Structure 1
């Protein structure tokens, strides 16, 4: 007997495999957890085979499930490619542009650029997603990304925006406890900073670890300890005092990333050009470099 499976069922299977849990798949698909469960059971009954097994709280594909995941992934890729090619033919500077960046870059540099951009292009709606995670531009998780990295990922088109200087800061109002530090959580990928801290700071002296530079800035300003922070963010904070000059081994290039198929889309090109121009201005260059 030939089993029929709809594209919506394939999307469901793919979402469960990618999320690893029914709850995660429900969030991805915008469905209720119970709905995902019922649809998975119905799909398995229609196919006459189990697609997932429970393993330590996660849903892991069975052999049959892995085959359907591969089919769904191929179809999803084809749909994404077609959508991206069609989006690339858009010559109207209107619609939504999705930008992903970090909370520190938005707070320290990007937000004023977006305000000026909206005044110039009121027909373009901005969807900004704050994350340190590398969202997949190839799958249209975002149209543009501003990321700090030693080298940009392939196959994206990358424009180097400058180099982010990082220095040591402490509370300007009162001295923190001797040798106390506020550190960056190991959950956040920043190998050079983690190496610097491991080589120079005793683990017992780290009073607090946080997964957000904005949170580290606040903690340092409150006097919990010294901290390593981007100069563009901390130099304008009157509650912080810079200790020494920027640390050369922590300097990291900032990149503006776009997928090749999206670079000619009018609305994406408009925001890309605005960001490149803003980061090339003397004021932003100086702040980025800790001047």
Structure 2
């Protein structure tokens, strides 16, 4: 009988945990009514669940007596094993809940290279100071990692239509303008924008490429890249002019804002996570922190930083013609 009970208990581990919950409630209270109060259900539900549990196991776990339910020998063996399972589940629940409630642990954050290099570092440094118990693991790449599969916990992405499976908020807007390096501009006369050398983007930035093609169709980039961070570096090196986000380019002392771009040269900035993770303490702390930091950066991201509004331009020899060209188009 004991061996049968042990086997039954092993089988029970594979059953729905609710079966063991109902069994233990009856075992501890000695009655259906007591178990029902303990579980917050009605008497008939307990009666039905215990009967189905015994039938499924092929073992009688309780003797039905006038004054209550009494464990059989098999029931006692089952109780011993079920209590161990209950302890294991309770322990796991405490650990998981504790991690969720503590401001500690690891957060995996994914974002584009341009944001990882030009925007995030100073904020991550401050976050580390404010939350020393939380470790941030930054995954950099233009390919969007799948948050549903837990390839990352949080994504800082650009675009105007975030996936419906994720939750989050728009935390900023990147406004673009045309930039060039001081080295490139040295000695250049005021000529049409299209006559200059250009740094452009490949199909990974199709939206920007389409907009730029409509804005300046005769311009043909002689250097293309899938990385805005690389485009900033190429522009700094003097390869040519480039449409760049003001919030990053304005931080580069070597770059000069040459001309404005139409109002549709913008990208929304989204801070996203999975619905199941949004209430985890360390995730929530990071989301709230970064949203607040980026809100304070709004003037810079919109192009109102070092060079003033994105519609304005520096006083260099190209500006008069650049302004005229931009206005005509």
TM-score category by the smaller chain?
Answer: 0.5 to 0.7
State the distance in 2 between where 1:195 and 1:88 align.
49
Map of 1:237 onto structure 2? 252
For residues 275 and 158 of structure 1, what CA distance do their matches in structure 2 show? 12
* Distance in 1 between residues matched to 2:261 and 2:169, nearest whole Å: 23
Matched, 1:268 2:283: yes
The question of whether the paired residues in 1 share the 8 Å contact of 2:184 and 2:239 is answered with no
- Once the two structures are superposed, residues 222-256 of structure 1 have per-residue CA deviations (whole angstroms, 9 ceiling, x without a partner) of 21111111101111212111122343111111100
Could you tell me how far 1:88 is from its partner in structure 2?
Answer: 10
- TM-score, with structure 1 as normaliser: 0.65
* Count of residues in Structure 1 that have an aligned counterpart in Structure 2: 202
Higher relative contact order (CA 8 A, sep 6+): 1
- When structure 1 is superposed on structure 2, of 251-260 and 100-109 the one drifting more is 100-109
The answer to whether 1:182 aligns with 2:199 is: yes
Alignment of 1:55-204 (within 5 A): 90-175=100-185, 178-186=195-203, 188=204, 190-199=205-214, 200-202=216-218
Task: Give the match for residue 294 of structure 2.
Answer: 279
Partner of 2:16: none
Asked whether the 8 Å contact 1:162–1:279 carries over to 2, the reply is yes
What's the offset of the Cα at 1:202? 3.7
- 8 A Cα contact 2:110 2:156, kept in partner: yes
TM-score, with structure 2 as normaliser:
0.58
Q: CA deviation digits over 1:110-130, x for unaligned, max 9?
A: 111111111111111111001
Deviation per residue, 1:137-178 (Å, 9 max, x gap): 111011100101112111211211011101111122233884
2:162 and 2:100 mapped to 1: Cα distance? 26
Matched-pair contact (CA < 8 Å) for 1:170–1:242: yes
Deviation at 1:96, TM superposition (A): 0.5
Query: Conserved in 2, the CA contact under 8 Å of 1:87 and 1:262?
Result: no
In structure 2, the gaps of 5 or more residues are 1-95, 189-194, 305-329
Q: Quick one: structure 1 residues 87 and 253, their matched pair in 2 at CA, closer, same or farther if it must change by over 3 Å?
A: farther
User: C-alpha separation between the residues in 2 aligned to 1:227 and 1:287?
Assistant: 18
- Consecutive unaligned residues in structure 1, runs of 5 or more: 1-85
Closer/same/farther in 2, CA of residues 89 and 119 from structure 1, 3 Å limit: closer
